[in-house]
């Protein structure tokens, strides 16, 4: 407003190139010409509002991502506390805990091995070496978080957790920014192309306006004169060459005044406006907000979307393959039927259905040849299962027979345990007996059954496994497997 009031000389309005009916001196004065500050204030407020909304949306999106990431990274592991096993979140592991790990488990914290059996660990995430490293309790006893157990089992004492562990130190030094989704990348590319096109148009408009202005500066016009006869910068728009004083009829170059630079500034503002308007910076943000909203909606429907990019293609999905464990099922196992003592039992047998010789062998086989544990009784009538759910289901079956698997493990002298291997598809435990030893084996039904030459009858006697019995066993295995349940091999 101050600038407008002390304007030293206002030039005549330029003739628009598209206005044929333009008449000098007939233009109408602008209303509120001295309120040009309002436009700048409006732009400033608009930028503040857009920035605040963008920051708020990004903040909410970050909170959603953190909640999803925490859910994704969280898992349960078996920990021994006060001499009893329990399942806790990996985020609740403390220094001094004793962690139980089996094949396929991820090491949640650094520690020292207390006991292990044929333990091999994949440390490629830390060292880059693809060959699994054998571990023992003497030389290679260190367990490093972020690695995974590829073979064997172990118990180890936790010595470092969180940021103090080796994996935590690496993660704190890495940039954890999430990559953009494919749709966001495409939209960003489109926005970049539009922005470049807008920049070219803005530069072209700036030079075009400047060239036209420079050309018009060469045209003569009539300037006002003060009382002393000096020529001012104010133009007499309606004057012609005949009505103008000869000394006042000049070009803008001949009567140049710094205020004329204001036109260049106006051209530059117009170019900047073209660039700002042409860049669709809100388009990727709008897509991000919509995807985050879709993730939240699906989470409310009990569908956890770990990667936001999945929502982009969800609408075009025809078949969705989902892990049923924990979603369609409860991740709980129960023994419902089986092949015991040379015959198939549609309903579970009772303790009185077996002779002591067979029953003792069955109890020892299930109790000692497994790593599962049973925890506290739950309010729904079930029992807490710690470890492999199939092994825990067999332990519950032993409880139904009136056997205590912990007492059986304490009574039996285990010489060595051979953990489950994906190559062998079985697990074995060697037990010392007064007469020598006995190897208990469980695993893939058809593989274990194919290696047997005899079986135990329900009275405990050993019977030859002829072709007819072998065929009968395989038919029951295929029948049970066809129905969907797990099918451990008959003892």
Active site residues: 323
Helix, strand, or coil here: 388? coil
Contact 383, 406 (CB under 8 A): no
**What DSSP line would sit under 292-357, residue for residue?**
HHHHHHHHHTT---S-TTHHHHHTT-S------TTTTS-S------EEETTEEESS---GGGS-HH
Would you state the torsion angle of the CA atoms of residues 33, 36, 38, 40, taken in this order, to the nearest 10 degrees? 160
Distance of CA 357 to the CA centre of its chain: 54
Six token digits for residue 243 = 């009505």
Q: Which of 77-84's residues contact partners 24+ apart within 8 Å by CB, and which partners?
A: 77/101, 77/105, 77/108, 78/373, 78/386, 78/387, 80/155, 84/375
Would you state the torsion angle of the CA atoms of residues 350, 354, 356, 358, taken in this order, to the nearest 10 degrees? -120
Contact 93, 79 (CB under 8 A): yes
Give the integer Cα–Cα distance in Å for 442 and 226: 113
- Residues contacting residue 479 through CB under 8 Å, at least 6 positions apart: none
179 phi/psi in degrees, rounded to 5? -70, 155
Give the integer Cα–Cα distance in Å for 15 and 12: 9
DSSP state of 8: S
Distance of CA 491 to the CA centre of its chain: 44
Roughly how many angstroms between the first and final C-alpha of the chain, as a whole number?
98
Closest CA to 351 of 399, 390, 392: 399
Hey, which residues does 385 pair with through a beta bridge?
A: 374
Six token digits for residue 52 = 């605040």
Which H, E and C letters describe 174-221, residue by residue? Answer: CCCCCCCCHHHHHHHHHHHHHHHHHHHHHHHHHHHHHHHHHHHHCCEE
């Amino acid at each position: 407003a101050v600038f407008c009031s002390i304007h030293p000389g206002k030039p005549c309005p330029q003739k628009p190139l598209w206005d044929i009916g333009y008449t000098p001196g007939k233009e109408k004065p602008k209303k509120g010409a001295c309120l040009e500050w309002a436009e700048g204030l409006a732009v400033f407020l608009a930028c503040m509002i857009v920035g605040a909304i963008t920051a708020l949306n990004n903040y909410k999106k970050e909170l959603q991502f953190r909640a999803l990431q925490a859910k994704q990274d969280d898992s349960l592991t078996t920990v021994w506390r006060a001499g009893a096993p329990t399942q806790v979140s990996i985020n609740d592991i403390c220094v001094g805990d004793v962690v139980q790990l089996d094949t396929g488990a991820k090491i949640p914290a650094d520690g020292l091995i207390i006991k292990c059996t044929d333990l091999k660990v994949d440390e490629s995430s830390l060292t880059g070496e693809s060959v699994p490293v054998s571990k023992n309790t003497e030389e290679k006893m260190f367990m490093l978080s972020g690695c995974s157990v590829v073979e064997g089992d172990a118990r180890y004492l936790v010595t470092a957790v969180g940021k103090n562990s080796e994996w935590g130190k690496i993660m704190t030094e890495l940039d954890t920014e999430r990559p953009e989704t494919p749709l966001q990348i495409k939209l960003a590319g489109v926005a970049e192309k539009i922005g470049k096109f807008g920049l070219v148009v803005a530069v072209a408009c700036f030079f075009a306006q400047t060239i036209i202005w420079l050309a018009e500066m060469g045209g003569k016009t009539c300037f006002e004169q003060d009382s002393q006869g000096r020529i001012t910068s104010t133009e007499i728009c309606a004057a012609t060459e005949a009505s103008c004083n000869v000394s006042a009829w000049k070009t803008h170059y001949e009567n140049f005044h710094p205020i004329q630079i204001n036109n260049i500034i106006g051209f530059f503002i117009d170019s900047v406006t073209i660039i700002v308007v042409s860049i669709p910076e809100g388009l990727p943000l709008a897509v991000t907000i919509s995807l985050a909203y879709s993730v939240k909606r699906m989470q409310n429907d009990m569908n956890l979307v770990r990667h936001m990019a999945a929502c982009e293609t969800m609408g075009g999905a025809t078949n969705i393959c989902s892990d049923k464990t924990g979603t369609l099922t409860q991740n709980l196992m129960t023994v419902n039927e089986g092949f015991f003592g040379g015959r198939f039992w549609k309903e579970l047998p009772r303790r009185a259905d077996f002779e002591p010789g067979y029953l003792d062998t069955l109890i020892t086989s299930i109790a000692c040849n497994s790593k599962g544990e049973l925890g506290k009784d739950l309010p729904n009538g079930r029992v807490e299962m710690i470890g492999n759910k199939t092994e825990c289901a067999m332990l519950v079956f032993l409880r139904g027979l009136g056997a205590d698997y912990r007492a059986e493990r304490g009574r039996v002298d285990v010489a060595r345990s051979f953990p489950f291997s994906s190559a062998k598809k079985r697990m074995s435990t060697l037990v010392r007996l007064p007469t020598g030893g006995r190897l208990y084996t469980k695993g893939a039904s058809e593989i274990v059954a194919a290696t047997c030459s005899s079986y135990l009858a329900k009275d405990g006697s050993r019977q030859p496994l002829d072709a007819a019995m072998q065929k009968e066993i395989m038919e029951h295995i295929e029948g049970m497997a066809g129905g969907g349940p797990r099918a451990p091999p008959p003892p």
